[in-house]
Amino acid sequence: MKDGQNKLYVTGLTLVATLGGLLFGYDTAVISGAEKSIQAYLIDSQGLSAFIHGATTSSALIGCIIGGAISGLLSSRFGRKHSLMLAAFLFFLSALGSAFPETLFFNEGEPSIALLMVFNVYRVVGGIGVGLASAISPVYIGEIAPANIRGRLVSINQFAIIFGMLVVYFVNWGIANGQTLEWINAVGWRYMFLSEAVPAALFGVLLFFVPETPRYLALTNRHDEALKVLTKINGAEVAKGILSDIRSTVEHHSGKLWSYGKLVIIIGILLSVFQQFVGINVALYYAPRIFESMGAAKDASMMQTVVMGLVNVVFTVVAIATVDKLGRKPLLIVGSIGMAVGMFAISALSFFNVIGIATLIFIIVYTASFMMSWGPICWVLISEIFPNKIRGRAVAIAVAAQWTANYFISSTYPAMMEFSGGMTYGFYGLMAVLSALFVWKMVPETKGKTLEEMEALWKKSSQG
């Protein structure tokens, strides 16, 4: 612990910002319990294809790409705080609209292609909220956090994402438990989507009570306000030094996107792409269906999904506890190796049509490896590697690339599985191997460095 740091205050700000992460997880995973009901109610009833099913399951990701892409513009123009407020409103609107897409235009109980399109619009709206929160919540935390605990605090955002997924797994299971399939397909899935309105409203209200980040305030020449926030977080003496460093990086640079060289942007994009190409969201979105394909009954598949969610939470805590001690690179490389082992094993089991406890074990090995490495640490790096004056735009590019990769992987999964399960899982294993090589060769260690020290590293690199 460092003298003068108000860790209680900065932790409180972090917890409010991480509600954006919780809603990110909640919104992206709520579909796991509802997708089979949506398939029955809106897709099979219209005689539509597996491709339409995959596109509908993944439709929120189109919004995520849009939200990620515009996050830099919004957070740079309106600030981190107000952009998160917009995300909270979009989450709330999506929860209501996805639960009752018939409102205003259609009659309940009469599925149609037009209704399917409206449902997808509401999911896209929620996705825009996810895209904004996924980019801006880590940036908000990274910009308020002292360097010595920044990795831990930004990692809490990933914990919130996974906790949001775990909560919605329990909510979905609780809604479906003991009910008939007919009731779930007619009514239950609506309650699953509607439940998101509660954390969305809480997020929106709490954001009124947090300050804007000091780095954004300095960027907009509100130096007295920035100093006030920095003083409350770090103490008066340290705050003056930090503000001086921030002002020097802001005032002595053009702020053009490529002015620190292309390498930092490329590394940000590849971190994002590899985080998705290892196949994690296939396991998260289609978890109940994967377990059912292994022979589990409907209720058991939902329960196994909850078990997987608990494992995810435990191993995210491992990352939070170690990221500021062991560093970012070692955890990423170890995680990549663990994911490769898990996916290659699942691939082999799939090729030989072996279904049983071994498959569940290797799925857990795979997800645990992701959650203690690429899950939280990718977001930590994205929040801290970019220089102050380009952070908003650079994070937007990285996050848009991430959601584009996510959409590609998630929407192609059903068709790939129809072709070959073994080859599908083998592809994700290969991506895990390549991700380890990428981190080893290209990613700098950022442990303990201030955001301004990271800026100096890229400035030196671009000049060299």
pLDDT at 293: 60
HEC assignment per residue over the chain? CCCCCCHHHHHHHHHHHHHHHHHHHHHHHHHHHHHHHHHHHHHHHHCCCHHHHHHHHCCHHHHHHHHHHHHHHHHHHHCHHHHHHHHHHHHHHHHHHHHCCCCCCCCCCCCCHHHHHHHHHHHHHHHHHHHHHHHHHHHHHHHHCCHHHHHHHHHHHHHHHHHHHHHHHHHHHHHHCCCCHHHHHHHHHHHHHHCCHHHHHHHHHHHHHCCCCHHHHHHCCCHHHHHHHHHHHHCHHHHHHHHHHHHHHHHCCCCCHHHHCCHHHHHHHHHHHHHHHCCHHHHHHCHHHHHHHCCCCHHHHHHHHHHHHHHHHHHHHHHHHHHHHHCHHHHHHHHHHHHHHHHHHHHHHHHCCCCCHHHHHHHHHHHHHHHCCHHHHHHHHHHHCCCHHHHHHHHHHHHHHHHHHHHHHHHHHHHHHHHCHHHHHHHHHHHHHHHHHHHHHHCCCCCCCCHHHHHHHHHHHHHC
Give the pLDDT score at 86: 97
Closest CA to 88 of 206, 217, 189, 195: 206
326 Cβ contact partners less than 8 Å away, ≥ 6 residues apart: none
pLDDT at 356: 67
Q: How confident is the prediction along the chain (464 residues), in pLDDT tens digits per residue?
A: 455 678 899 999 999 999 999 998 898 788 877 888 888 888 877 777 777 877 787 788 889 889 989 998 999 899 999 999 999 999 999 999 999 988 878 777 777 888 889 999 999 999 999 999 989 999 999 888 887 888 888 888 888 988 888 888 789 888 988 888 888 888 888 999 999 999 999 999 999 999 999 989 988 889 899 999 999 988 888 888 888 877 876 665 556 767 677 888 999 999 999 999 998 877 665 555 566 665 555 555 556 666 777 787 888 888 888 888 888 899 999 999 999 999 999 889 888 877 667 777 888 889 889 988 998 889 888 888 888 778 888 889 998 898 888 878 877 887 888 888 788 889 999 999 999 999 999 888 878 777 777 777 776 665 55
pLDDT the model gives residue 299: 55
Domains and CATH numbers, the chain: 7-210+253-463 (1.20.1250.20)
The torsion angles phi and psi of 395, rounded to 5 degrees, stand at: -60, -40
Question: What is the rounded CA–CA span in Å between residue 459 and residue 357?
Answer: 51
Predicted TM-score (pTM) of the model is 0.81
Radius of gyration of the chain (CA): 22
What pLDDT, on the 0 to 100 scale, is given for residue 419?
83
Distance (Å, whole) CA 327 – CA 446: 7
Quote the pLDDT of residue 287: 57
CA distances from residue 144 to 108, 217, 250, 284 in whole angstroms, order as listed: 47, 11, 16, 30
Judge whether 116 and 133 are in contact, CB under 8 Å.
Answer: no
323's tokens? 């990221």
Q: Looking at residue 245, what is its pLDDT?
A: 79
Task: State residue 250's pLDDT score.
Answer: 65
Residue-level length of the chain: 464
pLDDT score for 1: 42
Kindly report the backbone phi and psi dihedral angles of residue 433, in degrees, each rounded to the nearest multiple of 5, phi listed first. -65, -45
Q: Are 231 and 3 in contact (CB under 8 A)?
A: no
CA–CA gap between residue 284 and residue 322 (Å, rounded): 24
* The pLDDT value given to residue 292: 63
